[in-house]
Structure formats: C-alpha cells, structure tokens
Structure 1
Amino acid sequence: MGAQAEIHKAAPPSRWRRWRNWLLAAPLLFAAASVLQVLVLRFVDPPFTTTMALRYVEAWGEGDWGFRLRYQWRDLDEIAPSVPISLIAAEDQRFPFHSGFDLQAIEKARDHNARGGRLRGASTISQQVSKNLFLWQGRSWIRKGLEAWYTVLIELLWSKERIIEVYANIAEFGDGVYGVQAAARQFWGKDAARLAPGEAARLAAVLPAPRRYDARNPGPYVQRRAAWIQRQTRQLGGPGYLSP
C-alpha cells in the first residue's frame, strides 16, 4: 500500500492541471516580458514597429508586392527643435506634466462627444507611442487595455525626452513614411535638423490622418491647422516648454 501511495503521489499532473498552471503563469510571463521590452527600448532605438509590420501586411494583402516604407532614425538632438514642440502643440499640450493619461482632456472629450457631432479623442503622445510601437489600430477593449499597460510602463521607465524622441521617429507622416527624418527627405529633400518651423508645423498638422492629408502640398485644412500649431508653439513658450 505504501509503494502504491508513493506511485500515486509521483504521477504526472493531469492535462487540465498543466493548462491551468500555464494560464496562471501567462499574465506574469507577459508582464515580465513587456517590462523587459520597454526597458530595452529606453536605450535601443527600435528598428521597426508593429504599425510598420502591419503596413507591410496590408500592402501585400492588396497585391502591392513592391511596397517599401521609408524609415530613418534620428536622435532628438539631430531634429530641428521646432519639431517636438509642434508635435506637442498639435497632439498633447499637457505632455510635460501628465503621467501618460490626460484626465482633463478625457473629461473634455467625454463632454464633447456626449453633445454629438464628430467624435473627439483624448490620447496622449505616450499612448500613441504605446499603440504605434507595440500594438495595432482598432477600438477593442483588449487593445485599449494593453495600450494603458504599455503607457504606464513607458512613463515609468522612459524620460519625457525619450518619449517625444521615439514619437517623432515612428509617427507616420505620409503613406509609408515613418519618422520626421524620412518625411523631411521625402517631402523637402533635407534632413530633419534643417526643417523650418512652418514645415514642422505642417508635419504635425497631418496627424493623425497622414494618408488623407499632404504636408508637402497642403490643402486649406492643413494650412489652417499648421498656422494654429505655430501660434500654439509660441504661446507655450517654444522648444523650452518640454523642460519647464
């Protein structure tokens, strides 16, 4: 009887028990992997993003086998100072002060949307970095939850300068044109360091619909929005706003 009891105790766990153990461990494994992922990208410039990979899949699904995206990294000190402040003025004016989520903007967007009309979002630059770098487009609760998780990690592990540096390099400014350096070369034949304030404002003005609007040949909407962005950058105090 004693031997049989020992054999019974040493028997391997059932398949259900193994699945249960994996399911319990999966969230912890994901959390650890995502923390490591974000920590590495604090120091290592991303060679590509999930958004870029999905853009290739989209092009190939349409039969465009020759599609090639344009992406060139530039450090923040190699980008014209007018670019980061233009992005902040256009997308997230409380960027230096919030911790990834702008509660004031969320409340204003909620009130605006409750009145009807065109929906207004309240995503911060940190949230957009999370989505563009790690996730996919869409409005599912799963994606929004993952976006919130990555946003918390980015704000905890990166400086604000690193966040805006990554955003300036991975944002899409035209169909398949990712990052301010690729946009500067594609649209004006110059490096990102030589962009004029008006050109930086036009790049910021096409967000978040860069396939609809054109920074090189702007229509009335982009011209009006670019002029508004330049006024906002002056009111914010210029490039020094990022380090108040």
Structure 2
Amino acid sequence: MSESRPRKSLARRILRFVLISCLLLILTPPLLTLVYAVVPPVSTLMVGRYAQGLWVDRQWRSLDEISPSLVRAVITSEDSAFCSHKGVDWDALQSQINRLNAGKDVRGASTISMQLAKNLFLWGDRSFIRKALELPLAMMLDLMLTKRRIMELYLNIAEWGEGIFGAEAAAQAWFGKPAAKLTQAEASRLATALPNPFLRNPAKPGRGHARLARTNESRVAQAGNIFSCVLRRP
C-alpha cells in the first residue's frame, strides 16, 4: 500500500508534465504570431546559426521599402495563388498527392504561408511529419495575419545564401544595392534562387537559373491581378 502511493504520485507528475508540455507546444505558435504581427521575428535557421556562433546578415525592411518587383517575382515563382488561398493551396496539394500515388516525383506544393510557418516554427529537413505540421500552422498564420504582413515577414527571413537572410541583405550581397532599388530582372533572379539558395547565384546565374529567371519575368508581365492583396498599386 505504501509503495503504490509514491508510484501513483510519480505517474501524476509525469502526466502533468506531459499535459503542460503539450499545452505549451499548442499555444506557443499562436502567441508568437501575435508578437510577430508587430515585432520582427527571427527564423529557426537564424536561431540555429546564432547558437553555433555563425555569421548572420539580416536587415529588416518594411514591405514599402522592398521593391514591388521582388514581391511580384516571388509570388509568381513561389505561390501564384497567394492572394486567393487561406494558407494552403488544396488544389496544388491534391495534385502532388496524385503524383505521389502515381509513382512520380513530387514537386512540392508549399505556399508562401507554409514556407513562413516552416521558417518560423519548424525545422529544415524534409519529412512528411514536418509537412503535415505546416498545414495547420499556415492556416493559423493566414487567419491571424494580413497577407501584406505574411509577405513582409517572409521576405525578411527567407534565406538567400550562407548566412544571408531577407531581401535587404540579399540585394546588398548579390547586387550591391538596397532592396527598394531592385529591377525586375534582378528580382526574378532572386526569386528563382529561393528553391536552392546555396547553388544558385543571383549575381552570376548559370544557364538553367538564367532561363528560370527569364521565364519568371515573362510570367510576371502576364500575371494579371494576382498581387492585389499585397501591393498597394498595380
């Protein structure tokens, strides 16, 4: 009888710890999102580099201080349905699930909101677990933040090379100019470098990268009104 009581007490403490930990895991992202609505955040990749004592270059800029050309190029390249979905592009996601079921390569269906969720709250390695976690987090971001704020956050924490985070640092590093002065050609090079920022050099793009950038420019010119939720003027 005396031995069972300590065991029950230990079990209660463990259960309490588990419940509190789960509650914190659930509450932390929305609480941080409330903070990030007004305060510039850091990404998990930036935190990792800081923890290792590695160099980080991130110079925060408001969306009004970033060239609209970059906004257009990134939306066109990364998430053309950005203004119309609620964090997750379910049609694109279903298309990639169908490709997976057919044994074809999956090209990804990450929206800008999903990429932001990954950068703010999750880890970088690819896995189905991480992808599954991105979905509710992306919908939460889209519910709690405006599209302009989501884009502003994304463009300030996206990685554009070793230790280079955000549009301003990228524009300075690759083109020697502020993000506000980027041309459409330069913006397209930056946007098409995002899927592989360590192997694609926006300043001196390889043949394949240059082709992607030219295609992006053409698509931006023909994109129509897909940027209306972000840009104040066409």
Shorter-chain TM-score range = 0.7 to 0.9
- Residues 1-244 of structure 1 aligned to structure 2 (within 5 Å): 14-46=9-41, 48-55=42-49, 60=52, 67-116=54-103, 118-237=105-224, 240-242=227-229
Q: Specify the code of the residue in structure 2 equivalent to 1:24.
A: L
Q: Specify the code of the residue in structure 1 equivalent to 2:156.
A: N
- Contact persistence 2:75–2:227 (CA under 8 A): no
Shifted more, 34-43 versus 231-240: the winner is 231-240
- Contact persistence 1:51–1:135 (CA under 8 A): no
Q: Specify the code of the residue in structure 1 equivalent to 2:28.
A: A
- Contact persistence 2:161–2:197 (CA under 8 A): yes
1-structure distance, mates of 2:21, 2:129? 16
1-structure distance, mates of 2:147, 2:83? 7
CA RMSD for the aligned pairs?
Answer: 2.3
User: What do residues 49-92 of structure 1 show as CA deviations (whole Å, max 9, x unaligned)?
Assistant: 111122456xx5xxxx6x41211110000001111111010011
2-structure distance, mates of 1:166, 1:175? 19
Structure number with bigger Rg = 1
* Shift in alpha-carbon separation, 1:238–1:78, aligned structure 2, 3 A: farther
* TM-score, normalising length: structure 1: 0.84
2-structure distance, mates of 1:142, 1:111? 19
Shifted more, 223-232 versus 196-205: the winner is 223-232
- Contact persistence 2:49–2:55 (CA under 8 A): no
Q: Specify the code of the residue in structure 2 equivalent to 1:32.
A: L
1:238 is displaced (CA, Å) by 6.5
Q: Secondary structure at the match of 2:160?
A: strand
Query: Aligned residue for 1:3?
Result: none
* Shift in alpha-carbon separation, 1:214–1:238, aligned structure 2, 3 A: farther
- Contact persistence 1:170–1:179 (CA under 8 A): yes
1-structure distance, mates of 2:69, 2:25? 38
